[in-house]
Structure 1
Amino acid sequence: MPTVEHVKITVIGCGYLGATHAACMAALGFEVLGIEIDPTRRSALERGVLPFFEPGLPELLVEQVESGRLRFSADIAEAAAFGDVHFVCVGTPQRADGHGADLTYVEAAVTSLAAHLTGPALVVGKSTVPVGTAERLQEILQSQSPAGDQVELAWNPEFLREGFAVKDTLEPDRLVFGVRSERAEATLREVYSTAIDGGCPVVVTDFPTAELVKVAANSFLATKISFINAMAELCDVTGANVVTLADAIGYDERIGRKFLNAGLGFGGGCLPKDIRAFTARAEELGVKDALRFLHEIDRINLRRRKRVIKIARKELGGRLPGKRIAILGAAFKPNSDDIRDSPALEVAHTLHELGVHVTVHDVEAIEPARTKYPDLSYADTIEEACAEADLVMHLTEWLEYRAVDPAKLGEVVAGKRMIDGRNCLDIDAYREAGWTIRSLGRP
């Protein structure tokens, strides 16, 4: 394998994960070829334009494309001839016929690449896959590649947080290498030498453990979120304060305070999909009882969406049809335009189906939301969304929403009623401005 100065990298699949990884690898000084078969997306990337929102990435992409270190193609044969290390970053969505992961894109990427590999190469999986997938892909590589056993597979799961993807790639909190040879480990250590030299811990392990790390981490985070949301339900009926409760138990170093923010619950393209695929895979392996608790985690999470609608109905005197509700938030989280499994948008859509006049505002996700739910109304400003609203619902915790002046907002609404679905607004400030404000788990 060439020395790090001469290692050439390909990134197969340039969606959110792949585009981020490609730009960051180029920023580290590597020559990078991104493979993207979608012509619209590829054309945008070639111009340095991202088809999604991620802070800091547009500038990095433009810089690396202009430097010549990063370019894009649709030709997998070109990738095989160009690269020494091939990162597979294609999506693994939930299957349409069940909760399991759809491996169509991963298998197609590896199979098509294998056919063109004529010399030594390392293929590195970064996609989130069910445990056992890497073993099968290794067999595909070595049986279908002209180079045979000169081609190795490694598994290097990603841990990107939307909104922090550039930092998480350039300054990861850990690196996991699922490898079967010292050569594969040494190559990955060269590729990630900047992070490793900076003190990033490295976990070297086998394929199954590397595959399990991402889904295990996401399942644990989902458990923490749903646990505190279950506590919020108890707080609602007892008059306790879930924020203070979370602060108190968070001081226990065995528990920690992160991911103990009660509210509307989690969404996005990772946590919901991953815990469902994890339980599906456990059932396939004959150990479904081991992960049965994740079914309840999922149910608690989805129940939060029904809970906030129930509160809205109560705040509006028991009747929803004909009322006007402003929804602040469409993305599943702030600093993102990702609306996959967005709790905010599902609540907005459900209210619309119940006969409510819904107007949605979001800082970055209006266009994706409009595409998915064209029947909803959308506003370009917070004030426009809230104009003549009988109720305002804060459902995505953008900083812009926390910065709103309750007194000024009160001048445009029909009724000063607020539901804080993320437990982060200043309750006292709203009450001083004459608002009735309800939170999830705060009295």
Structure 2
Amino acid sequence: MPYRLTVIGTGYLGVTHAACMADLGFDVLGLDIDADKIRRLQNGELPIHEPGLEPVLRRGLESGRLRFTTSYEEAGEFGDVHFLALGTPQKQGEYAADTSYLDAAVESLAPYLTRECLIVGKSTVPVGTAARLADKLARLAPAGAQAELAWNPEFLREGHAVQDTLKPDRLVMGVRSERAEKILREIYEPLGDVPVVVTDFATAELVKAAANSFLATKISFINAMAEVCEAAHADVQQLATALSFDDRIGGKFLNAGLGFGGGCLPKDIRAFMARAGELGADQALTFLREVDAINMRRRARMVDLARELAGGSFRGCTVGVLGAAFKPNSDDIRDSPALDVAVTIGEQGGAVTVYDPIALDNARKAHPELNYGSSAVDAVRGAHVVLLLTEWQEFVDLDPEALGLVVAERKIVDGRNALDPTAWRAAAWHYRALGRP
């Protein structure tokens, strides 16, 4: 008989995993303590924007293989395998990760685990969390040692989450028994021939932290080169192109610009540093402090460039901002560099109007003090300076001549190096970009 799965937590990771597992043919029960979110999901409404996910969700609901609940008792009775997909945000006022949502979920689920089952952590956690939760399960679950834990970190990219779930580039399984490995292999068998790394809890936890730290380091490296290029009057885009032909380096994540944001990379590298310090290995990760610092400097440099184009002050200046999400194809504004820049300019006296194709509602709730446009043209109407801060294709495809007809001055700062400087300069725009002459 196929395993019945529960997914605890229906945030970005949880709802994607639940819908995709149902699409693979499993009976899946998603659980969240937010009753309104559960009602919306049961009606086929996504709480997030993720390309391709809504039809997968609806297929699962219509087939009867997918449903949602707020009851831990129901989840405990239903599931053979319970996936933990809870957030681990940065603690207020410190670098460390807050694992309280995971602890609360385990404490709520454990009393209803009365038979043999597997609990599978997918969240990004400080190393050592899995071992601690395994001990907690053994103490609290009536099934005792038969309620076993495994750690199976996720590697989803926002905007590609369905593909990354159904066609992953690897599966990491942190297990303590052959039984746990066998169950996970059987669950993921429908995915086909995927590289599998079977390891211990600690290594499985570290894989995700190390992967995010490596990506953040690569992004900050090219942004550090952008700082040097600006000082030397060189072109970081041409530099990156030359580097990308070296197959030891490659071109991915080598696009200089405003830097990374979102709900993963910034908080994950900080949590990694904090945990290394607790383990007495803080010196090993001191370079991540500079990775973080370079990333934050990009935002300040973007504000400086905009201020230069505004004539040295934002007072009396209208600024049109294109982009609010931390990356295209997402409505996620967590630690968004785009919004950070927009808010900073507003605080310095600029009249800021923001437009984003998807993230506008989230931005408006978080920052009602800003103005919002209904389109790119609306956002830049009468602007003295235009800022491209999220590289949506809609913005890349803008006609510089047509846009020039609605602005007060043809001045633009390309914060993502996404536009063609030649085309914009040919349309009489004063074009500036991070890391370019």
**TM-score (normalised: structure 2):** 0.99
Instruction: Please tell me whether residue 309 in structure 1 is matched to residue 303 in structure 2.
Output: yes
Alignment partner, residue 78 of structure 1: 74
Alignment partner, residue 123 of structure 1: 119
User: In the aligned structure 1, how far is the partner of 2:277 from the partner of 2:365?
Assistant: 35
Instruction: Please tell me whether residue 152 in structure 1 is matched to residue 143 in structure 2.
Output: no
Instruction: Please tell me whether residue 175 in structure 1 is matched to residue 175 in structure 2.
Output: no
Shift in Å, 1:375: 0.5
Instruction: Please tell me whether residue 417 in structure 1 is matched to residue 411 in structure 2.
Output: yes
Within the candidate set 247, 254, 258, 1:260 is matched to 254
Shift in Å, 1:398: 0.2
Q: Deviations over 1:78-99 (max 9, x none)?
A: 1111010000001111111311
Q: Deviations over 1:404-441 (max 9, x none)?
A: 00000000000000100000101111011110100111
Instruction: Please tell me whether residue 61 in structure 1 is matched to residue 66 in structure 2.
Output: no
> What is the 5 A alignment of 1:369-380?
369-380=363-374
Match of 2:234, SS? coil
Match of 2:112, SS? coil
Q: Deviations over 1:155-208 (max 9, x none)?
A: 00000000000000000010000001111001000110022x2x2100000000
Instruction: Please tell me whether residue 93 in structure 1 is matched to residue 92 in structure 2.
Output: no
> What is the 5 A alignment of 1:377-392?
377-392=371-386
Instruction: Please tell me whether residue 190 in structure 1 is matched to residue 202 in structure 2.
Output: no
User: In the aligned structure 1, how far is the partner of 2:311 from the partner of 2:350?
Assistant: 14
Task: Tell me the matched-pair count.
Answer: 437
Shift in Å, 1:151: 1.3
Q: Which moved more, 1:334-343 or 1:134-143?
A: 134-143
User: In the aligned structure 1, how far is the partner of 2:75 from the partner of 2:245?
Assistant: 50
Alignment partner, residue 399 of structure 1: 393
Alignment partner, residue 207 of structure 1: 201
Gaps of 5+ in 2: none
User: In the aligned structure 2, how far is the partner of 1:318 from the partner of 1:112?
Assistant: 56
**TM-score (normalised: structure 1):** 0.98
Match of 2:154, SS? coil
Aligned Cα root-mean-square deviation (Å): 0.7
User: In the aligned structure 2, how far is the partner of 1:28 from the partner of 1:62?
Assistant: 14
Alignment partner, residue 292 of structure 1: 286
Partner amino acid for 1:21? H
Shift in Å, 1:43: 0.8
Alignment partner, residue 14 of structure 1: 10
Shift in Å, 1:54: 0.5
Gaps of 5+ in 1: none
User: In the aligned structure 1, how far is the partner of 2:209 from the partner of 2:355?
Assistant: 32
Partner amino acid for 1:358? V
Shift in Å, 1:340: 0.2
User: In the aligned structure 2, how far is the partner of 1:250 from the partner of 1:353?
Assistant: 39
Q: Which moved more, 1:18-27 or 1:309-318?
A: 309-318
The list of structure 1 runs, each at least 4 consecutive aligned residues, that deviate by more than 4 angstroms after superposition, is none
User: In the aligned structure 1, how far is the partner of 2:141 from the partner of 2:369?
Assistant: 50
